[in-house]
Amino acid sequence: MTDETAASPTAPLSVDEVLAGMPAGMGALSDKMGITLLEVSADRVVATMPVEGNTQPYGLLHGGASVVLAETLGSMGSAVHAHPDKLSVGVDINATHHRAATDGIVTGVATAVHLGRSMTTYDVVITDERGKRVCTSRITCSLIPRERFSL
């Protein structure tokens, strides 16, 4: 790694490097939802999630499951941006559900909108296997100094 790459706050890390820095990986909820992290940097985070097991009573992908995926992606990107001096905590999320997904895998792509010293914001687009947009979300995270947490 060159000095230029090391100094870049958005230099890509491997998925394993990012997860190794998290006390509980992506967390128990992400594990239960079947979320698989594929790509992670402060600028862009990509993950997949199965529809099966994450549906509401009518067999459609649960809107809350889409929000869990979106929050996971935005939080992971924010955590990479905040590392090593700060931790990220979600403070706002919204979602618009465009179409139903009934089977297969959905893919979420979080793209940084703002990477500041005390706050980050990500747009998250979730699509089905045909590339059709299922959900659009926006998440904002606050960056808190590590010493304020007892992990």
Give SS3 for 19: helix
- C-alpha to C-alpha distance for 87 and 144, rounded to whole angstroms: 5
- C-alpha to C-alpha distance for 149 and 52, rounded to whole angstroms: 36
Looking at residue 17, its amino acid is E
Cα 99 to Cα 38, 122, 132, 136, 148, distances in angstroms: 24, 21, 8, 10, 41
Residue 147 annotated to the active site? no
Q: Which of 4, 39, 52, 71 is catalytic?
A: 71
Give SS3 for 75: helix
- C-alpha to C-alpha distance for 87 and 78, rounded to whole angstroms: 8
- C-alpha to C-alpha distance for 124 and 37, rounded to whole angstroms: 14
Binning the chain into helix, strand and coil, the percentages to the nearest 5 are 25, 40, 30
Which residues form the catalytic set? 71
